Amino acid sequence: MTGPGTAGIAFARQGAAAIAAAVRERRVGAVEVAQAALAQVDRVDAGVNAFTEVTRARALAEAAAVDAAMARGEPVGPLAGVPYAVKNLFDVEGVVTLAGSKINRERPPALADAAAIRRLRDAGAVLVGALNMDEYAYGFSTENTHYGATRNPHDTTRIAGGSSGGSGAAVAAGLVPLALGTDTNGSIRVPASLCGVFGLKPTYGRLSRAGGYLFVGSLDHVGPLARSAADLALAYDAMQGPDPADPVCAQRPVEPTAAQVGRGIDGLRIGVADGYFARPMADEARGAVEGVARALGATQRLDIPEAGRGRAAAFLMTSIEGSLLHLPDLKSRAADFEPLIRDRMLAGVLAPAHWLWQAHRVRRYVRERALKVFERCDVIIAPSTPMCAPAIGTEWITLEGERMLARPNLGLFTQPISFLGWPVAAVPVARAAGELPIGVQVIAAPWREDLCLRVAAHLERIGIAAAPAVLPA
């Protein structure tokens, strides 16, 4: 195989929309882009540890299929030739679905692609590999004992966040312009914040999760990470639509957003989350929210009723439902679990049934009260993480004098929103050289992903949000 040509190299670090346009306009071939992306992964990933599998042959074959379709004059999809990678809990045909675990490594390779991958492939995207994560998605740090910690490209002594840490790091390092993650309690939004990239956690039930290894089915969402709001929209649109293979996926028509993202914020009532979301956080997290609020002219402070109780209920559902999925393995081979989660899993399976059932019933109680916030606004700004990326191995953090466990509390601000199932764009705040990234959540009412993406794109356009690719340092 020859190395990537200069045209491929020039495009490999660009965004998804730019690559797809260049491929469609014949300024570069999809194979050239794929070769350049693979070469980049080979060269850079050792310092980041984002990839657990590189699907080289598949990437080149999918790219060649795009080039062949172009040569025949056939239409190609909106993501034609765009390299992407997926959290390793998504089924990839012929690849073992690890879900970050040692145990699942013994399973046979997947027989078919996950639904989200099939839809991206149909849109012309080119899969280059599978990405590291916390074991069974249970964590916010991607400090995976079996496969090593994923390192933050902005400072490789720090965590990338999790559980979609490989997805955040691969996009931040410019290895791919697009990655798939999942978000149960914050697993797209936390790494997006700590790695300084955009992420979209759609409404619960919007995107099919079929062929993705479950963590907590009652809370699991699929979504994209990218370096611009427009790229998120392209990928999100390609993955929309009902899917009978996922019992949670809603029977909603495709509601395209890509043509909407440039509409600006005129007419939108934007507020800033208060109450629960004013809890202790580092100066940089508060600064990010205040800076975004100022730029949007958002002066209204809003309480999302019962957000704290929502977080507590999400914690119970996660601890119990997320553990019961693994009861057979916990009985037969507990020592093979990730040490960071093993004791939590063993405890979760012993909790009284009443606690889990109460959490499920309280979900509707919280929903009815929390939704009232949208009588006063269309979009809410909230912190994503309470701080920038801590060093790998950090167990405790102190925020405004309050000492707390680092790992679970990285999701302090994301957990109530995924519990409610509302759509969120995770938006990285533009920063000065040498500063660590941090993001904010742009939250809208159920099924209004378009509003999240519009505000995210507006923040990008006025220079408040940015996600430039960085070379790992």
Partner 1 sequence: MTDPATVDWSAYVESTAAAIGLAIDPAFRDGVVANLERIAQVAQVVNAIELGDADEAAGVYRP
Cis peptide before 319 (omega within 30 of 0): no
Closest CA to 166 of 77, 57, 60, 53: 53
Backbone angles phi, psi at 254, to 5 degrees: -65, 130
With respect to partner 1, which residue has the nearer C-beta, 149 or 366?
366
Determine, following the binding rule CB under 8 A, whether residue 346 of this chain makes contact with partner 1: yes
From residue 208 to residue 247, the character string flagging contacts with partner 1 as x (rule: CB under 8 A) and all else as - is ---------------------------------------x
Choice from 39, 69, 312, 436 touching partner 1 (CB under 8 A)? 312
Backbone angles phi, psi at 118, to 5 degrees: -60, -40
CB contact set of 386 (below 8 Å; sequence gap of 6+): 279, 280, 281, 282, 285, 397, 399, 409, 410, 412, 413
Whole-number minimum distance, CB 312 to partner 1, in Å?
4
Determine, following the binding rule CB under 8 A, whether residue 316 of this chain makes contact with partner 1: yes
Structure tokens at 242: 């009902």
Structure tokens at 271: 């507020």
Choice from 7, 268, 365, 431 touching partner 1 (CB under 8 A)? 365
Determine, following the binding rule CB under 8 A, whether residue 330 of this chain makes contact with partner 1: yes
Determine, following the binding rule CB under 8 A, whether residue 348 of this chain makes contact with partner 1: yes
Helix axes 353-370, 307-324, angle to 10 degrees: 140
Question: H or E element: which one contains 342?
Answer: helix 339-348
Structure tokens at 147: 């496969």
Determine, following the binding rule CB under 8 A, whether residue 407 of this chain makes contact with partner 1: no
From residue 427 to residue 466, the character string flagging contacts with partner 1 as x (rule: CB under 8 A) and all else as - is ----------------------------------------
Provide DSSP, 290-340.
HHHHHHHT--EEEE-TTHHHHHHHHHHHHHHHHHHTTHHHHHHHGGGS-HH
Residue 430 DSSP label: P
Choice from 342, 371, 378, 404 touching partner 1 (CB under 8 A)? 342
The C-alpha atoms of residue 421 and residue 218 are separated, in whole angstroms, by: 10
Does the annotation mark 87 as catalytic?
Answer: yes
Q: Report the length, in residues, of the chain.
A: 473
Choice from 10, 263, 355, 404 touching partner 1 (CB under 8 A)? 355
Does the annotation mark 187 as catalytic?
Answer: yes
Determine, following the binding rule CB under 8 A, whether residue 359 of this chain makes contact with partner 1: yes
Whole-number minimum distance, CB 344 to partner 1, in Å?
5
Stretch of 102-110, 195-203, 326-334, 373-381 lying at the interface with partner 1 (CB under 8 A): 326-334
Determine, following the binding rule CB under 8 A, whether residue 350 of this chain makes contact with partner 1: yes
With respect to partner 1, which residue has the nearer C-beta, 48 or 330?
330
CA distances from 416 to 184, 309, 422, 443, 456 (A): 10, 8, 9, 12, 20
CB contact set of 375 (below 8 Å; sequence gap of 6+): none
Does the annotation mark 163 as catalytic?
Answer: yes
Stretch of 152-160, 291-299, 314-322, 391-399 lying at the interface with partner 1 (CB under 8 A): 314-322
From residue 244 to residue 263, the character string flagging contacts with partner 1 as x (rule: CB under 8 A) and all else as - is ---xx---------------
Where in the sequence numbering do the catalytic residues fall?
A: 87, 163, 187
Residues lying near partner 1 in the complex (CB under 8 A): 205, 247-248, 308-309, 312-313, 315-316, 319-320, 327, 330-331, 334-335, 342-344, 346-351, 354-355, 357-365, 367
